[in-house]
Amino acid sequence: MTLDDAAIDRLVAEAQAGDAWAFGLIFDHYHLAVYRYVASRVHHPADAEDLTQLVFVKALEALPRYERRGIPFGGWLFRLARNAVIDHVRTRRDHASLDSAMGHAGQDAGPDDVTVTRQELDDVADALDALTDEQRETIALRFFAGLSAREAAAVMGKQEGTIRGLQFRALATLRRRLGIDPSASGPDEQIVARQHRRSR
């Protein structure tokens, strides 16, 4: 179900008035995008699921105090998600090894496939390490959460042009580090596909 900003605003107002069904529709609309964003940042699927649920619990608790103030509801929600990820990383201080991703990738694969996949995952991890924190955040919000540049700017507290610049530099770095020819069709999609495999 696709909801425009006006429909989201109506549902938020109804949810603030105590309509649980309206909040359920909000949950349905944003759940997958929030999960993808969180999973791209914490890498452990179980942690991503727990944090996603936590984000919506916090959203429900804070909903009576929510005011638009120039930031769309989605931007506000992803700020909650971003804060939850930051708190999680601070408390855990351990980033997932790629072995958890390999557990999924290697279930039905032969030894050669597993070796190739492991090398690709290592390459993606190295490429992402070359990005700044803000560049990684921008990539996660734009490609995994599916936010627009304007929405990502609201989440990160930056100007839309800054987000576009961060995205451009991040993708250029990833293409260079991964050896992806920028003239090839869909290089950004190739990068995102590799990162999706890493975060599953």
pLDDT tens across 100-127, in order? 444 444 455 566 666 766 677 777 777 8
Residue 191: pLDDT band by 50, 70, 90 thresholds?
A: low
**What pLDDT sits at residue 53?**
94
The Cα 94–Cα 154 span in angstroms is: 28
Asked if residue 135 lies in contact with residue 173, where contact means CB atoms within 8 angstroms, the answer is yes
Which are the contacts of 91, defined by CB distance < 8 A and separation ≥ 6?
none
What average pLDDT does the structure give for the chain? 80
The pairs formed by 85-89 with CB atoms below 8 angstroms and a separation of 24 or more are: 85/37, 85/38, 85/41, 85/42, 85/51, 88/42, 88/47, 88/51, 89/41, 89/42
Domains and CATH numbers, the chain: 5-92 (1.10.1740.10), 99-199 (1.10.10.10)
**What pLDDT sits at residue 101?**
44
DSSP H stretches of helix in 17-156 = 20-42, 45-62, 73-92, 99-105, 111-129, 133-139, 149-156
**What pLDDT sits at residue 181?**
66
Residue 192 in tokens = 């995102």
The Cα 162–Cα 131 span in angstroms is: 15
C-alpha distances in Å from residue 182, one per residue of 125, 167, 175, 176 = 20, 15, 7, 9
Residue 61: pLDDT band by 50, 70, 90 thresholds?
A: very high
